[in-house]
Amino acid sequence: MKGIMGIKLGMTQVFDEEGRAIPVTVIRAEPNQVMRLRTKERDGYEAVQLGMGAIKEKKVAYQQLKDYQQRGLTPVRYVREFRLPGATELEPGQFVRVEEAFQPGDIVDVIGTSKGKGFAGGIKRWGFRRGPMSHGSKYHRRVGSLGPRMSGGGGRVRPGRRMPGHKGHERVTVLRLTVVRVDADRHLLMVKGAVPGPRGSLVMVRETVRKRKGAV
């Protein structure tokens, strides 16, 4: 099972053996505790729940704290579920370390929450073109027509119509990033390229689900 949670620290660059600069994102992946296992017999699928980050017991809901204590687990701040093959081979209470999960050269997917941009209009949010900027125009940056009144549209705005609204702060998955370096002493993982989310946000790193064509 290859999957771990971490905190995005930011971007920097490292140099390979030939002196070429490689842009990387640095992720601090502290040891993740196995909180719960999902099995096909009981849940219909295989998965593992990993926990990370220390938290005071008084900040955990009573029923959840009792559940942790009954299973001999330490309360954690973050809990995420990974659906990966081989997840049932782990045991509750076991720790997954970054050097055990990934090695340089591995291809991974990174899941995070994109930066929130607040309320945005159609041009910024969806890339709409603006209207004429002449004096007589009434549609400079407005969305314009929302569809026909009667034919097909039914006289209403159809669900899913691209309109102004909240931009960003969505779950985003970046596929097929390469692990450049793994620092076991400082629990650091460096992946090539950018990953979603601001500095200090939680990200999930897993073995890629999109294999290269022809690979077994």
Rounded Cα gap, residues 79 and 206, in angstroms: 15
Q: Which of 22-31, 127-136, 153-162 has the lowest mean pLDDT?
A: 153-162
Rounded Cα gap, residues 88 and 68, in angstroms: 19
Cα–Cα nearest to 2, from 89, 102, 94: 102
SS3 22: strand
R_g over Cα of the chain: 23
Contact of 48 with 36, CB cutoff 8 Å: yes
| Mean predicted confidence (pLDDT) in 16-26 | 94
- CATH fold of 3-117+177-207: Double Stranded RNA Binding Domain (3.30.160)
Task: Give the whole-number percent of the chain exceeding pLDDT 90.
Answer: 67
Confidence category of residue 62, pLDDT binned at 50, 70, 90: very high
Q: Name the residue with tokens 């099972």.
A: 1
Ordered by start, the domain boundaries in the chain are 3-117+177-207, 118-168
**Furthest-apart CA pair in the chain: how many Å?**
72
Confidence category of residue 154, pLDDT binned at 50, 70, 90: low
Which one has a higher pLDDT value, 8 or 46? 8
Rounded Cα gap, residues 94 and 119, in angstroms: 43
Tell me the pLDDT of the chain averaged across its residues: 90
Q: What is the pLDDT of residue 90?
A: 85
Q: What is the pLDDT of residue 179?
A: 97
202 pairs with which residues across the strands?
A: 7
Confidence category of residue 155, pLDDT binned at 50, 70, 90: confident
